[in-house]
Copies of this chain bind each other. A is one copy, B any other.
């Protein structure tokens, strides 16, 4: 166990980044080792020095994709005060999730496009990570509901599926240079939270009232 196999992390990352881009564009079967090698300025055979098979490569890409999201969101939530409201937590989580998946967009998109086509064993392993991320969200929502911030009759599980579905879809249309992540996160939170907020309990935090702009008359 005292081997000193270092294997130059930077070359490894070069191959991994290239793989993510190619997997993203051509899917699992459509991705060839030769195409990855081209993208990474290598010859096909050389990849096998870093990864021992195509499957090990896609597995690494998948894990990086979900891990980045989990870490980013977890850290953002930890930075919140203990008594943060459900709204704050959701806004924070949405913003962090969007930042993460757009930051490492190649990996996220690769994951989305390839997940259904990957060998069962690899998919199952990655699925465990995704499920643990799902429970993270479930906890936030259930907590807020228990505290009376969210409607008691809301189906939290379905709401969570709705939120994560919409979030994950973002990478398909979000293009850097257009809308900012802040804008998207704010608008998204507004749609989701103001739908979950218990109106019977009266308005709690701010940001629910339209800021300025033209007011529409009621009837």
Contact = CB atoms under 8 A, between A and B. Distances in A.
Nearest to A214: B152
Contacts of A193: 195
Interface stretch (A6-14, A24-32, A52-60, A63-71): A24-32
B148 A218 contact: yes
Contacts of A170: 161, 165
A133 to B, nearest CB: 14
Interface size for chain A: under 10, 10 to 19, 20 to 34, or 35 or more residues?
Answer: 35 or more
Contacts of A27: 27-30, 113-114, 116-117
Main SS at interface, chain A: helix
Interface in A169-214: 169-170, 172-173, 179, 183-184, 187-188, 190-196, 198-203, 208-211, 213-214
Contact of A152 (B28, B116, B168, B210): B210
A121 interface: no
A208 to B, nearest CB: 7
A83 interface: no
Nearest to A159: B191
A191 B116 CA distance: 28
A124 interface: no
A151 B187 CA distance: 12
Nearest to A202: B218
Contact of A153 (B30, B183, B210, B218): B210
B169 A184 contact: no
A76 interface: no
B216 A198 contact: yes
A196 B191 contact: yes
Interface of A: 24-31, 109, 113-114, 116-117, 145, 148, 151-155, 158-159, 161-170, 172-173, 179, 183-184, 187-188, 190-196, 198-203, 208-211, 213-219
Of all A-B residue pairs in the complex, the 4 with the closest CB atoms, nearest first, are A165-B169, A29-B30, A195-B195, A201-B218
